[in-house]
A = this chain, B = another copy of it.
């Protein structure tokens, strides 16, 4: 599935969600969805605000926060809280789940995917009686290059 068909698919999902919930289909909401799905990495509300402002699309922070809640609720984005007090978001539709490993010496970040994390998720969900929506997993250590120079 290419980028433009992803964009139109998520628009449909969002549209259907808004109808189902009895909300209104405002142009701002779809403009924000577009902006979110044109991001290629993690982003925060302020970045969205700046990006949209630079494109001369006038939208308020209040509306951005409001819309992020809707996108979260219908599962089109994931929210992270990586240490700092800034909420970080990430598009969630059709993107391969991945986790990160960080080198604490040089700051390098690599990605990997291990299916066993989903098995742990299922076990924990059952054991703790939670309905789990997402997870965040980081490994910290020293990468190959940094081990050699030690």
Tell me, in angstroms, the Cα distance from A144 to B142 when the chains sit together: 39
Tell me the minimal C-beta distance from A61 to chain B in angstroms: 16
A94 on the B face (CB < 8 A): no
- Please give me the residue from chain B that is nearest to A137 by CB atom: B137
Residues on B with C-beta less than 8 A from A143 are 128-130
Q: Mark A26-56, 1 if CB is under 8 A from B, else 0.
A: 0000000000000000000000000000000
A138 on the B face (CB < 8 A): yes
Tell me the minimal C-beta distance from A106 to chain B in angstroms: 11
Give this chain's copy count: 2
Tell me, in angstroms, the Cα distance from A114 to B123 when the chains sit together: 9
Q: Interface size of A by Cβ–Cβ distance < 8 Å?
A: 39
A95 on the B face (CB < 8 A): no
A127 on the B face (CB < 8 A): yes
Q: A81-B81, A124-B114 are in contact. Are A141 and B136 (CB under 8 A)?
A: no
Residues on B with C-beta less than 8 A from A120 are 114, 116-117
Q: List 6 A-B contacts (CB under 8 A).
A: A101-B124, A124-B139, A131-B142, A131-B147, A135-B139, A135-B140
